[in-house]
Structure 1
Amino acid sequence: MTRIAVAAAAALAFVGAAIVTRRAADVQAQDDGATALDYINPLGAIERQVEQFQTEAAMHDNNTAAFLSMLRSAEGTDRRADPYRVCYGYAHTIEDMSDHPAVTGEWRGAKLPDAICSGAGLGPGCVSTAAGAYQLIRPTWLECKRKLGLTDFSPASQDAAAVYLIRRRGALEDVQAGRLSDAIAKVAKEWASLPGAGYGQPERRLAGLSDAFARAGGVMA
């Protein structure tokens, strides 16, 4: 057998082994609710567990809970009986909470005014899939879902996703310490309703957000 033939045979064997490994991982993942990638890349599973632990720990903090309440107020979802079922513009009420409505196919999103599309760096006729208490768009939700191993779009999952986004923006310590203006400045690009977001949508005033934070039991530094 020539060197080229030997190399080709070795390559085929490697690919075959990888396919078998992935199939075995798929089967195992189905048995315990993990993902196949957890078995191929166990570090990914460890990282997710760390994210889950840090997020769950943060959700027990009083100021964090107050900040989440403030966000719901800023996004206007608290104007409905169940803010966790609100879609952008109050255009739809979510019925299936097994996943984001733009993932389940229950809701395809709402068309935005061209001015808002431009503010977000998008072309005319763009569509928002913002849904839930924190108006999470589909791509952002999928990132949170993957990072935290979320299995549904329940209120607890939405809260966890919001805390993850606050942590990702480096604002969680400010939230917990009561440095409200600093925290809001850091997460403004995550929520268009916050001052300084710059997406062309109506932005709340800091004074009103401070009042909402305090009403929810938050303590400012």
Structure 2
Amino acid sequence: MYQITVATWRDFGNQLGLTDFSPETQDRIATAILMSLKVDIFLKNNDLGGALSEASRRWAALPQGPDLPNRHPPQPYMPFDTFKKNYEEELQQGDHK
């Protein structure tokens, strides 16, 4: 649900000491970006809408929250209900790993 650009990789990859552009490296960068936006605080408080409000500032394909569009029209985005369903499924799968 995110795209790490070369410019973002340069910024965060250098900070994190990364040397490749693998999917795992991109996941680490995405996590670092989300942490810098304090999204984890919203998620720990079970506030997915608040988390998306912050994350959508960085990623155009995310909605701002329940019943809200993305911040970057006309960029396509995933509706909140679809995102929430996918998020909850991933959480459940994580519990079984």
Coarse TM-score class (shorter-chain normalised): 0.7 to 0.9
The residue matched to 1:217 in structure 2 has which SS? Answer: helix
Q: 1:137 to 1:199 in 2, by over 3 A?
A: farther
What is the letter of the counterpart of residue 166 of structure 1? L
In the superposition, the TM-score normalised over structure 1's length comes to: 0.36
CA offsets, 1:88-146, max 9 Å, x none?
Answer: xxxxxxxxxxxxxxxxxxxxxxxxxxxxxxxxxxxxxxxxxxxxxx3112211111101
Question: 2-side partners of 1:139 and 1:147: how far apart?
Answer: 13
Q: Which residue of 1 aligns with 2:67?
A: none
- The answer to whether the aligner puts 1:193 opposite 2:66 as a matched pair is no
**Poorly superposed stretches of 4+, deviation over 3 Å:** none
Question: 2-side partners of 1:156 and 1:177: how far apart?
Answer: 26
Q: 1:157 to 1:176 in 2, by over 3 A?
A: farther
What is the letter of the counterpart of residue 42 of structure 2? D
Q: Which runs of 5+ in 2 are unaligned?
A: 64-69, 93-97
Question: 2-side partners of 1:160 and 1:177: how far apart?
Answer: 22
Q: Which residue of 1 aligns with 2:22?
A: 154
Question: 1-side partners of 2:83 and 2:26: how far apart?
Answer: 20
In the superposition, the TM-score normalised over structure 2's length comes to: 0.77
How far is the alpha carbon of 1:202 from its aligned partner? 1.0
**Match of residue 80, structure 2, among 190, 202, 206:** 206
The structure with the larger Rg is 1
Number of equivalent positions: 86
The residue matched to 2:91 in structure 1 has which SS? Answer: coil
Q: Which runs of 5+ in 1 are unaligned?
A: 1-71, 73-133
Question: 2-side partners of 1:186 and 1:174: how far apart?
Answer: 9
Q: 1:178 to 1:167 in 2, by over 3 A?
A: same
Identity %: 27
